[in-house]
Amino acid sequence: MLPVVIVRDLRLDLIRGLALWLIFLDHIPSNVVSWITIRNYGFSDAAEIFVFISGYANTYFHGEVARQHGMAAAAVPVLKRAWQLYAAQILLFAIYVGVVGYLGSGRQHYADETNIAYFLQQPDVLMLQALLLKFKPVDLDPLPLYFVLMLVFPVILWLLGRLPIAILTSSVVLYVIARTLDWNLPAYPSGGWYFNPFAWQLLFVLGAWCAIGGENSIDWFVRSRAVMILAGLYLLFSFVIVMSWNFPQLASLVPQWLGGMLYPIDKTNLDPLRVLHFLALAIVAVRLVPKDWPGLGASVLRPIIICGQHSLEVFALGVLLSFVGHFATLELSSNVAMQVLVSVGGVTTMVAMAAALSWCNSVEVPVRFASHLSGSHRTEGRELRQMTPNPQLPETVLRGCSRSISGKVY
């Protein structure tokens, strides 16, 4: 089977890398630097961005594989990626518990804050619940959601290629039913998943639908002047509401009847206000950053882009670093200088790891296994993915704007 060469849309890597940075900053409690994240200026945050982009990027890549080589060729790397996500969750869980247990030894509040107190009391029971993805410490909720979405993604991709409008409509219906009937997957010891998969699938499917061709059908709508104005007004409305939470003197701007209609703005079940805020942001972003935006090649954006290209590893490292940063601000110093140092140091470490992973990929060489049968050569193994730069490839490919088929590209 010939490799599938796909030109990367660097906007996807840029936005996902930025989302990873924002998630890291938001995960450090009482962090002054987190004031630069979108969470503080509107209803949605980086989680909505990450889920939507994941649906778009996976369809952008695996949809082309399915088109050229069939659904089986696309489904195998998707399910392999799902297994990698599950394995990463369990490994991250073990390391996270170890780091919290070691650094927070003798300080019960760390175990309580991170939700590992139950584990320290009943490690045998809680380990099984962790393997079942029912028990999750604080900040370890996104990967299980992504795992579930990737498990069902081959079916979503297959149906989107045939009934795109019907699948998008079904996703909206499931979202409404889940919110109405309070559907969720069970958590341990009680309650449901922090990211309800029945609700959050909406953004994933919406991203997949856009990538499969839906964005072309709504391009006129997104680029409408009236829609752009409405998006801007909604972002302003969201900004005022959120500011009233942080500054009591602005609370009078929100009438009591309006607050009764808006609150609570639920994240677990993906409140419609959060969805609308994300869509408004997406409309503005599409207008400001087209596919051929020259800034995508700017060296200043390269650190964000490479983080987006290694999202799983960068996210896992960010979770660990966020606790280490929280520990440092509590035990060493809580002044602004320390908070800035922790934030910049964490982001720099994430970039360094992503750069190291990119370098490792660039020096891998193709390997083909063969055996001698009756004096003739026959290939028995499968060729490993080729990442070594080829001087015959166009310059855009050499820069990493495209990749050979791989279950890890997106």
Q: Tell me the per-residue pLDDT of 309-350, one tens digit each, with 9 for 90 and over.
A: 999 999 999 999 999 999 999 999 999 999 999 999 999 999
| Residue-level pLDDT at 110 | 93
Tell me the domain boundaries of the chain.
Answer: 1-36+299-365+383-410, 47-89+135-289
Q: Tell me the per-residue pLDDT of 159-193, one tens digit each, with 9 for 90 and over.
A: 999 999 999 999 999 999 999 999 999 999 999 99
Q: Is residue 285 scored above 60 in pLDDT?
A: yes
| Residue-level pLDDT at 68 | 87
pLDDT category at 368 given cuts 50, 70, 90 is low
What is the C-alpha separation between 353 and 306, in angstroms, rounded?
Answer: 10
What is the C-alpha separation between 290 and 309, in angstroms, rounded?
Answer: 19
Q: 365, 388 in Cβ contact below 8 A? A: yes
- Which has more pLDDT, 66 or 383? 66
| Residue-level pLDDT at 373 | 52
What is the C-alpha separation between 65 and 5, in angstroms, rounded?
Answer: 9
Per-residue CA distances from 133 to 174, 176, 355 (Å) = 22, 24, 31
| Residue-level pLDDT at 104 | 86
Two structure tokens written together for 120: 């320290």
Q: Is residue 406 scored above 60 in pLDDT?
A: no
Q: Tell me the per-residue pLDDT of 48-102, one tens digit each, with 9 for 90 and over.
A: 999 999 999 999 999 989 988 889 999 999 999 999 999 999 999 999 999 999 9
Q: Tell me the per-residue pLDDT of 212-242, one tens digit each, with 9 for 90 and over.
A: 988 888 988 888 999 999 999 999 999 999 9
Percentage above 90 pLDDT, the chain: 68
Two structure tokens written together for 341: 């140092």
What is the C-alpha separation between 122 and 116, in angstroms, rounded?
Answer: 10
Q: Is residue 394 scored above 80 in pLDDT?
A: no
pLDDT category at 369 given cuts 50, 70, 90 is low
pLDDT averaged over the chain?
Answer: 87
What is the C-alpha separation between 197 and 205, in angstroms, rounded?
Answer: 12
Pseudo-torsion of CA 194, 197, 202, 203, nearest 10°?
60
| Residue-level pLDDT at 223 | 87
Q: Is residue 7 scored above 80 in pLDDT?
A: no
* DSSP letter, residue 28: S
Percentage above 70 pLDDT, the chain: 88
What angle, rounded to 10 degrees, do the helices at 142-160 and 197-209 form? 50
